[in-house]
Amino acid sequence: MTAPAPTITGRPIRFALVGCGRISTNHIEALRQHDGRAELVAVCDNRPAALHAAVAATGAAGFDSLDALLQASDADIVTLATPSGLHPRQAISVAAAGRHVLSEKPMATKWDDGMAMVRACRDAGVKLFVVKQNRLNPTMQLLKAAVDGGRFGRVYMVTVNVF
């Protein structure tokens, strides 16, 4: 196990964004809201049109592969906004490069793949973050309070679709 990465102080945290599809605009906007504390230094997509659009919108350096991004960028955190099945392999590569990982949900589609991500990040001494923004929605907060308060009795199973 590698020693944990030092805390970043005295400068903005540098982010890279892998996957420039629909959800990428949310990440780009979130970083803009934290200007001065966070900056987008690189974007990556294997689709030339999506990559070009992201570079034009952000001014960040553009890469057509994760390997190229990891070799040539100085990002502290790499955000994985790619299709879900790619997250485990990509997260393991990012961790091996000594970068923190921020994965869109689901982090993995198989238990063993998720555990491999956790182990790779732990062994590399980097953090693994998974986006779970819906837990903060007012509706979800009301639902949690109702469940915690016993409004529905004992809950045995829940099925959720997020469209």
Residue-range domain boundaries for the chain? 13-132
pLDDT > 90 fraction of the chain, expressed in percent and rounded? 82
Length in residues, the chain:
163
pLDDT one-digit tens code per residue, 83-130: 989 999 999 999 999 999 999 999 999 999 999 999 999 999 999 999
Token representation of residue 124? 């590399």
pTM, two decimals, is 0.84
Type and span of the H or E element at 77: strand 77-80
Q: How far is Cα 54 from Cα 77, in angstroms, rounded to an integer?
A: 18
Instruction: List the one residue out of 66, 52, 56 whose CA is nearest residue 94.
Output: 66
The confidence band for 162, taking pLDDT boundaries of 50, 70 and 90, is low
Between 2 and 127, the more confident residue is: 127
- The CATH fold of domain 13-132: Rossmann fold (3.40.50)
pLDDT one-digit tens code per residue, 120-161: 999 999 999 999 877 778 988 998 999 999 999 998 988 877
Angle at 101 between CA 129 and CA 63, to 5 degrees: 140
pLDDT at 36 exceeding the cut of 70: yes
Token representation of residue 163? 């469209």
pLDDT > 70 fraction of the chain, expressed in percent and rounded? 99
Q: What is the mean pLDDT of residues 31-36?
A: 95
SS3 101: strand
pLDDT of residue 117: 98
The confidence band for 163, taking pLDDT boundaries of 50, 70 and 90, is low
